Amino acid sequence: CLAGTVAGFTPGMSVAVVRRSYLCPPGWAGIVVLGSAALATAPDHDTARFIEQALSGQPAVSLTDTDVLSSRLPAAEILGPAYLAYLDPAEFRPQPGHAVTTPVSLDHPGFRQFLLAADTDDVEESGIGEITTPAFAIRENGQVVAAAGYRDWPCGTAHLSVLTASAARGRGLAQAAASAAVAHAIAEGRLPQWRARPQASRRVARALGFRELGAQVSIRLAAEVTSREHRS
C-alpha cells in the first residue's frame, strides 16, 4: 500500500516504478526486505532497470546492507537501514515499571513543550510528531519526560513512535510509555510495527516482545548515473 502501486514482495526482489512512493523520499529508490522477500520502488523505468541489473542475484538479506549497496550502486546517499519489527499480541510483554502513563492530546501544552525542548533530530527519528493517537505521556514534576503513540498505517498496522527527554533516558521510561501505546494498539485490533535505527530503540522493542523481521533503506543514486541512464 505504501509503495503506491500494485506490487508485492517476492523472493529476491521485485521492483515497481512509482513516481511518488512512500517507501522513500521523492526521487529516491526504496527497498524493504521482510524475511526472504524484498520490494523496491524506483521513480522511473530507467532507474528501476539500473537497480534490477545491479542487484540481480543478491540474497534478500543483503539488499539493505549498506556495504553491499555501496559496492554495487553509485549511491550519492543512503538512509538506513531501519529495522522493522512486529509484535504478535500473544507475545506482548508489558513493561509499565513504576511510571504512570496518561493519554494527552497532541495539542496539549505539556506535550507541545516536550517536543519543543527535544532535539530536532530525535523528534524526527522518533516520528512522534506524526502519531494519530493520543500521546501516552509520563510526567515528572509536572513536565512530560517521555511519550509514545502510533500512526495508523494501511492494513490495520500501528506504526509505533516513542521519545524520551535526553535527561531522563536510561531509566526504562521509553519502555513504559511504549508499553501503553502498544496495549492500546492491540486493544484496537491493530498489528504493532516498530521501525528503528538506534540500538536503544531496538532494545525497547525487543523488551516488549517485538521480533525483527526485516529492514528498509532509501537510496539516492548519483546524478550523473541517472542522467546517463536516461540518455541511453
Q: What is the band of 222 on the pLDDT scale with cuts at 50, 70, 90?
A: confident
Q: What is the mean pLDDT of the chain?
A: 91
Q: What is the band of 128 on the pLDDT scale with cuts at 50, 70, 90?
A: very high
Given a contact cutoff of 8 angstroms between Cβ atoms, the answer to whether 194 and 186 are in contact is no
- Identify the CA nearest to 84 among candidates 216, 186, 217: 216
pLDDT of residue 103: 94
Burial 52-68 (b: 16+ CB within 10 A, else e): eeebeebebeebbbeee
Burial 106-143 (b: 16+ CB within 10 A, else e): bebeebeebbeebeeeebebbbbeebebbbbbbbeeee
DSSP state of 56: T
Mean pLDDT value across residues 86-90: 97
The pLDDT tens digits of the residues spanning 139-185 come to: 999 999 999 999 999 889 999 999 999 999 999 999 999 999 999 99
DSSP bridge pairs for 193: 86, 159
- pLDDT at 116 > cutoff 60: yes
Instruction: Report percent pLDDT > 90 for the chain.
Output: 74
